[in-house]
Amino acid sequence: MDVFSKRKYLVIGLFSLTALIIVVRLFYIQVIDSSYKISAATNVLRREINYPARGVIYDRNGKLMVFNQAAYDVLITPREVKAFDTLAFCSIVGVAKEELINEIIKAKNFSRYKPSPIIKQLSSQTYAVLQEQLFKYPGFYIQARTLRQYPAKIAAHVLGYVGEVDQKAIDANKYYENGDYIGRSGIERAYENELRGVKGISYKMVDVHQMIKGSFEQGRLDTAAVIGKNLISTLNADLQGYGEQLLSGKVGSIVAIEPSTGEILVLASSPTFDPGLFVGRERGRNYAKLLNDPNKPMLNRAITSSYPPGSTFKIANALIGLKDGVLQTVRYSCNGPASTPIVCTHNHETPLGLISAIRESCNSFFWQAFRSEINHYSTPTEGLEAFRNSLLEMGIGRKIGGDLYAENSGNAPSVSYYDKIYGQGGWNSMTIRSLSIGQGELLVTPLQLSNMVSLIANRGYYIAPHLVRSIQEYDGTQDTLHYDKHTIDAGRDNYEMIVEGMEQVVESGTARVSAKIDSLIICGKTGTIQNPHGEAHSAFVAFAPKINPKIAIAVYIENGVWGARYAAPIASLIIEKYLKGRIASRRQHFEDAMINSNLISTMKLEGGD
Amino acid sequence: MKTSNNIWFNLDWTTVLLYLLLVFLGWINIYAAVYSDDHQSIMDMGQKYGKQLIWIIAGIVLAIMVLSVDSKFYAAFAYHIYAITILLLIAVLFLGKEVNGARAWFEFGNIALQPAELGKFATNLALAKCISQFDFKIQKMRSYIILILLILLPSVLIIMQNDTGSALVFAVFVFVFYREGLNGMVLFWGFAAAALFILSLLLDQFKLLFFLLTISVAAYGVLRQNIKEPLIGFLAIIGALGLIWLINSIFSLDGTPLELLTITSMLIAILVIIYGIIRRIGEVWRILLFFIFAIGISMSVNYFYKNVMAPHQRDRIDQVLGIKIDKLGKGYNVNQSKIAIGSGGIIGKGFLKGTQTKYNFVPEQSTDFIFCTVGEEWGFIGATAVLGLFLLLLTRLINIAERQRSQFSRVYGYGVACILFFHIAINISMTIGLAPVIGIPLPFFSYGGSSLWSFTILLFIFLRLDASRTENIR
């Protein structure tokens, strides 16, 4: 009836086309493009982390060595931050304005929407003040954390420290993320998984003002925080402190082990530092200072420095010879200082047997002993191979494998090493004779030395030295850790021969003045290690008492002149303190001398030439 | 016919049901949009959804009132209603309350009334009356002027209230005129002008000029049904441009690319004119006219855009066209709206499970951006279904309009469909970033009494007219 009525189709067509365009667009943003779903999640979800308290560490007698104290991080979400009185804020938290602005810029660069920490580890006192004022600073949040605290400023190297995770740790383990703390060295590192616990994560839904509106999916995805487990260490805190005191002013270390269990009683390295320096706001500055100190206080010399063992090695040499059956009855002659090819520094009877040789630390005896040990096999190659294997069995030249972090393996030179230097067949026992007296390419750590003494003390076995005895479970029970036992069967009598020699060292030999204690039989061995860079190093190994030993010890003092000068007094003082409880007045002057001596300043002077 | 007098029997119940369904869906989406754990009852009169329920009930009462009025009343009093509305639109400029920079509201105690909403159906009535007069011929110039004046009067008044969005709605009547016999070329030029407007903003002038040249040559080919001539023409443009470029380089004349192209196009235009005169080809003049018209529009767009439009209107257009991207400032609304809808996925998060709207990430989430809740909670399927219901309603209205014997009813019916279409298309498009944010509500969904009532009156007047379609002719 109407010429234009067909135009209704064009109008309906336009409506439908528009609807189609909208549907295609909806399909694109709702179904194809997933970025809106991510944006929606970042809009509304806030991931809250509940950091559990880190486990504490006790010494063997239940004395607290590390515990936690509450501390607070200040976080900002840059998008929500409004203009605020920076000066007032700075005066509350005690940071410089420039530093604050710097941190805010860093946070902005990281993300405008996500919270990032700008001020770390505020004390509870500062937190209390800030908490009251926080409403003035929109976009600022506070995250509770715990800080490590040390009742006594000891055992910094052993305990290690905790620090923020780096990218490498984050990449290696999905558990960690930016801002988490992780054990960086020592027990903190070795027992990271036990100590840290499990952080809890909860997802909260927030509105546009970041007000929390409730948990996400009724908290189905939330996980509860699990506090860290406590550790019972093998250390004796008092003895550790005493050891560190004795080491003051010297570069060196002490390792004391309970031979029957392999439990480390003392593991001290000097120079040391206050472990509390790595905690709190000053951490960065302190860390840099320690790192740049020429005496390297952060180095744990007891397990990461390896030295030539010097004459203390004669014990290992003797044990190998006895095991091979070549030293039981032999007597070798010595010309004292006129001896060749190695001089002997001591004047004593000649010819002499093994026990006397240990007592007198006779170089002549031991290179000849070494020659017969090597020549006991048909070729020098086989001989050295056997010699080296025996060392490795004793834990020399390899990581012993307790629970220590960053243990050095030392060096027991191999056949291929000498082949490379002298050519195959170009060397024999005499070429490498300096091994016999613990010099040359042989390198051991103080830990390995004390373990070697432990083996002698036990007359035939050692348990891998370790720092943690047990882990405290949540129900209060102790989960005692087990460590490998290594047995070296060389015959009881042979061990007793060495013990006899070591007893005579203290009784009437090289350490008779410095290490002898009334009514206690100490078995020891001194070592004086030639040092081309300065004064000789001073070493002493010992165990006591002779019967049923309770402590095996190695002391190594760099530039300590000779074995009986520093190492022997220090070792004997530790033993006396541990077994007697106090230092006899007769020996008080040793204690004073050790505590007050300072070798570090003289070392620096020597650095000049 | 026995039943012809019973309007309840003749009432188009399909449309009524669609209306009730849409209003109900709107209501529960407002509930979902502002839902919080503190106020869980959908009947809570202190909350928006509680108030909306009151608006809905009042709307239904209004609808019944509209249906109770004699159908002849609307045609008879169309101009009176129009005149009263115009007076109200003038009055609100002086007596109205200013909200968000727009002086558009009368306040009577708790109730606010927006005369601009009345403008839609009043203008629609007036236009229907005007077109349906027996001596009216839409092709006459005089008719154009009357129709344009009828539309322009309320739109200018609404623009003066600072409510440009509502004023733009009146442009949609062009489709009604088209149905009533408006020359199709007007529609074509309208679309061409709109396309040029967008292109002028998106392309730089060089590209635009080149584009227009190409289009002109192609259009010439279409008109002449010939491929050879436009091909030669296009090669001539390239050749001339290259030549002028060469001259420019040789003599170091420092002409900008745009200047060079302008000279080229003038050169080509002269050649084309000479060619057209010699060969007596009439199409040349039409193409030339188109070309000059297009250049004129694109140049005036820049002026209009920079000097006439308000900065916030420029920003909204820039956001849609992607000229400026500012997700946190000017584009925050639309970005958050897209996030809400986009995060709905295929099946949506479920009723009351939407987080983006519920936690206020989307501004105006119960009024202009109510579609976000639909998209977020009901997903692609739900959003498409709602869109489908709207399309069903619109096609239903067109079909009802076509069955009218009275031209008045038909024109009015087209007006209703087109007004609803404009609101639906622009409102949904702006929530998904297809149209600039001009702040117009989604019919039957958006929170607010004024808009719900005005759409209800608009629709039910038509249903009343339709119910009486058998009573009278003309």
Q: Give chain B's end-to-end CA distance (angstroms, integer).
A: 18
- According to the model, what pLDDT value does residue A605 have? 41
Identify all chain A residues contacting B379, using CB atoms and an 8 Å cutoff.
30
At B119-137, the pLDDT tens digits run 999 999 999 999 998 888 8
Q: Is the dihedral of CA B94, B96, B99, B102 positive or negative?
A: negative
What domains lie within chain A, and their CATH numbers?
46-76+86-199+217-233 (3.90.1310.10), 237-572 (3.40.710.10)
Q: Are residues B270 and B320 in the same domain?
A: no
CB within 8 Å: B356 and A40: yes
Higher pLDDT, B15 or B303: B15
Question: Cβ contact (<8 Å) for B432 and A11?
Answer: no
Whole-angstrom CA distances from A249 to A71, A603, B272 are: 34, 11, 103
DSSP 3-state percent helix, strand, coil across chain B (nearest 5): 70, 5, 25
The pLDDT-based confidence of B325 (bands split at 50, 70, 90) is: low
Residues B219 and B233 in one domain: yes
Give me the mean pLDDT over the A219-248 stretch: 91
Query: Distance (Å) from the C-alpha of residue B363 to the closest C-alpha of chain A?
Result: 10
Distance CA(B21)–CA(B420), nearest Å, equals 16
Strand-strand pairing, A162-164 and A181-183: antiparallel
Whether B474 is in a domain gets the answer: no
pLDDT range class, residue A95, cuts 50, 70, 90: confident
Provide the pLDDT for residue B329. Answer: 63
Cβ–Cβ of A4/B37 closer than 8 Å?
no
pLDDT above 70 coverage of chain B, percent: 95
Q: Which one of B34, B179, B377, B395 would you mutate to disrupt binding with A, by most A Cβ within 10 Å of its Cβ? A: B179
Q: Do the chains contact at B341 and A29, CB–CB below 8 Å? A: yes
Rounded to the nearest 5°, which phi and psi values hold at B104?
-130, 0
Q: B407 lies in a domain? A: yes
Residue B101 within a domain:
yes
B432/A25 touch (CB, cutoff 8 Å), yes or no: yes
Give the pLDDT of residue A178: 79
Residue A48 corresponds to which tokens in the numbers above?
A: 């809250």
Chain B interface mutation, best of A12, A17, A35, A36, highest count of B Cβ atoms under 10 Å: A36
User: For B339, which of A4, A39, A205 is closest by C-beta distance?
Assistant: A39
pLDDT value, residue B326: 63
Looking at per-residue pLDDT, the higher value among B98 and A423 belongs to A423
- C-alpha span between A261 and A484 (Å, rounded): 10
Q: Does B72 lie in the same domain as B165? A: yes
Mean pLDDT across A444-459:
96
pTM equals 0.66
Full strand arrangement of the beta sheet holding A537-544: A263-270, A252-258, A551-557, A537-544, A523-529
Residues B245 and B131 reside in one and the same domain: no
Measured between beta carbons, the chain B residues lying within 8 angstroms of A79 are: 328
Cβ distance of A35 and B346 shorter than 8 Å: no
Q: Which of B262, B285, B308 is a domain's end point?
A: B308
Name the domain boundary from B266, B284, B308. Answer: B308
Q: What's the pLDDT at B27?
A: 94
Give pLDDT, residue B474.
Answer: 42
B45 and B124 assigned to the same domain: yes
A24 interface with B at CB cutoff 8 Å = no
Same domain, B51 and B132: yes
CB contact under 8 A, B425 and A205: no
Q: pLDDT value at position A520?
A: 93
Are B139 and B65 in a shared domain? yes
Q: Looking at the complex, does the CB of residue A81 fall below 8 Å from at least one CB of chain B?
A: no
pLDDT, tens digit (0-9, with 9 covering 90-100), for A547-576: 999 999 999 999 988 878 899 999 999 999
Q: How far is A206 from chain B (nearest CA, A)?
A: 7
| Cβ separation B355–A43 shorter than 8 A | yes
Q: Which of A22, A27, A44 sits opposite B429 (nearest CB)?
A: A22
The Cα of B218 is separated from the nearest Cα of chain A by a number of Å equal to 25
Q: Does A370 score more than 90 pLDDT?
A: yes
Within 8 A of B421 by CB-CB distance, chain A residues are: 15, 18
Q: For the residues A149-175, what does the mean pLDDT come to?
A: 90
Residue B53 contacts residue B46 (beta carbons within 8 Å): no
- Residue range A58-93, pLDDT digits in tens: 999 999 999 988 888 888 888 778 888 888 888 888
Flag whether pLDDT at A33 surpasses 90: no
Give the HSE-up count for residue B300: Cα atoms under 13 Å, Cβ half-sphere: 9
Reading the block at residue A566, the tokens are: 């520093």
Of B250, B284, B308, which one is at a domain's C-terminal end? B308
Residues B203 and B238 in one domain: yes
Strands A461-463 and B97-99: unpaired
Residues B338 and B384 in one domain: yes
A18-22, A370-374, A490-494, B179-183: least confidently modelled range? B179-183
B346 contacts A30? CB cut-off 8 A: yes
Of B382, B395, B196, B320, the C-alpha closest to A14 is B395
Contact A26 B181 (CB under 8 A): no
**Percent of chain B residues topping a pLDDT of 90:** 40
Model pLDDT, residue A607: 35
Q: Looking at the structure, tell me whether residues B231 and B140 fall in a common domain.
A: no
- Expressed in angstroms, the distance from the first to the final Cα of chain A is 120
Q: Which of the residue ranges A51-55, A175-179, A215-219, B410-414 would you say has the lowest mean pLDDT?
A: A215-219
**A205·B345 Cβ contact <8 A:** no
pLDDT over threshold 90, residue A515: no
Residue A204: CA count within 13 A, CB half-sphere = 14
Residue B472 lies in a domain: no
- Could you tell me the two tokens for A322? 């006895």
So what's the pLDDT on residue A604? 46
Contacts of A27 in chain B (CB under 8 A): 380
- Give how many domains chain B has, as a whole number: 2
- What are phi and psi for residue B226, nearest 5 degrees? -150, 140
Domain with B270 in it: 193-308
Rounded CA-CA distance B329/A181 in Å is 37
- The pLDDT assigned to A608 comes to 32
- Nearest CB to B345; choose among A8, A30, A43: A30
Give the tens place of pLDDT for each residue, B185-237: 888 878 877 887 777 777 777 888 888 888 888 888 887 787 888 888 888 88
pLDDT, mean over chain A: 89
Measured between CA atoms, how close is B429 to chain A, in angstroms? 7
With vertex at residue B224, the alpha carbon angle to CA B221 and CA B230, rounded to the nearest 5 degrees, is 30
Q: Spell out which residues of chain B touch residue A43, defining contact as CB-CB under 8 Å.
A: 336, 339, 355-356, 359, 361
Residues B230 and B375 in one domain: no
pLDDT band at B419 (very low <50, low <70, confident <90, very high): very high
User: B370 and B386 share a domain?
Assistant: yes
In a domain, B370, yes or no: yes
